[in-house]
Amino acid sequence: MQSSSHDTTANAPYIGRFAPSPTGPLHFGSLLAALASYLDAHSHGGKWLIRMEDLDPPREMPNAQERILEALDTYHLFSDEPIVYQSQRSDIYQQALDRLIKNNLVFPCTCSRKQLNVVNGIHFGNCYSVIDSNVPAFAWRFNCQSPTRLSLKQGDKVSFQDMLQGEFQQSLQQDIGDFVVKRKDQLWAYQLAMVIDDYHQGVTHVVRGIDLIDSTLRQNMLQAALNYPEPNYAHIPVACAANGQKLSKQNLAPALDLSNPTKNLWLALSWLRQKPPEKLRTASVKEMLEWGIAHWDIKVLSNIQSQAAI
């Protein structure tokens, strides 16, 4: 078992971020992730950035970007630097991919979902397709067996240490596989774009929902391959509806109410176990955030995977 301990961000100024995708409006679960990352950054005297992950036009909703930014403005969650839009950064992603190609860390692949279903959707080792000049389109996959600083112990297990959830471990063959960094439709994959942007924006701490923890070791592998430092990770619990499903855009969670932000901020602070006093209910948005920064304690969320939404 291997623990990813490489960290050159330890002495760097704290920079956190919130990176929504414009596939729908923000909901209460989105507010929790944004607020937790915002409070953690500012309680450390750091910066908090907003990045728009607008890499998948077929899944985007009309006016979603505008609605997301309007909601963040209403809740006074302002970026400390200009907002970055991933759709404008294709050249930077291509430079990183070219570097991976040059170092033989990625390979082209035309394997279909049907072919991969035979191996539970995980591409590992030999490619099931052959690339030739007659193939019009192919994906680029990262070779997860390529040597990186994430050395293996106990078979094919890799792990990292999460600030809240402790050690998180996955199998290269059963959980990770040779993951896509550029899709067959020529759209950039989330894993590569996120790693590159975190590096270029100097992100030192990633506070996000535990539903994204599965992506972390893939990101660690890309960071190692590109010789990037690894941020510190803290995965907070997800909020669940009464039926047990997590609040998400896919599950049609209702959009944030922008008419009464103080009510939702107080509820979010309570859900995050910060114990806001009753008198704070009548405070302004600015006063609530100031209280949250002064009293923020992320450790109360340790070892919790989910909670019912309030």
- Out of 169-178, 228-237, 278-287, which region has the weakest mean confidence (pLDDT)? 169-178
pLDDT reported for residue 136: 61
- Given a contact cutoff of 8 angstroms between Cβ atoms, the answer to whether 292 and 269 are in contact is yes
| pLDDT tops 50 at residue 57 | yes
pLDDT at 6: 38
The average pLDDT across 88-93 equals 98
Task: Report the pLDDT value the prediction gives residue 87, as an integer from 0 to 100.
Answer: 97
Average pLDDT over residues 161-170: 94
Which residues span the domain enclosing 292? 3-308
| Stretch 68-80: mean pLDDT | 98
Task: Find the Cα–Cα–Cα–Cα dihedral 77, 80, 85, 88, rounded to 10°.
Answer: 170
Q: Is the pLDDT of residue 253 over 70?
A: no
| pLDDT for 159 | 87
**Are 282 and 57 contacting, i.e. CB atoms less than 8 angstroms apart?**
no
Query: Quick check: 1 pLDDT over 80?
Result: no
Q: What is the pLDDT of residue 42?
A: 98
Compute the average pLDDT of residues 16-30.
94
Select the more confidently predicted residue: 2 or 287.
287
Residue bearing the bigger pLDDT, 137 or 189: 189
Residues 23-34 have a mean pLDDT of 93
3-state SS assignment for residue 305: coil
What is the C-alpha to C-alpha distance for residues 66 and 63, in angstroms, rounded to an integer?
5
CATH number at residue 36: 3.40.50.620
Q: How many domains are there within the chain?
A: 1
User: For residue 3, what are the β-bridge partners?
Assistant: 159
Stretch 8-34: mean pLDDT, rounded? 89
Residue with tokens 């070791």: 217
pTM recorded for the entire structure: 0.89
Mean pLDDT, the chain, whole residue set: 87
Question: pLDDT band for position 301 (50/70/90)?
Answer: very high
Nearest-angstrom CA–CA distance, 81 and 87: 18
> Which tokens belong to 86?
């991933």
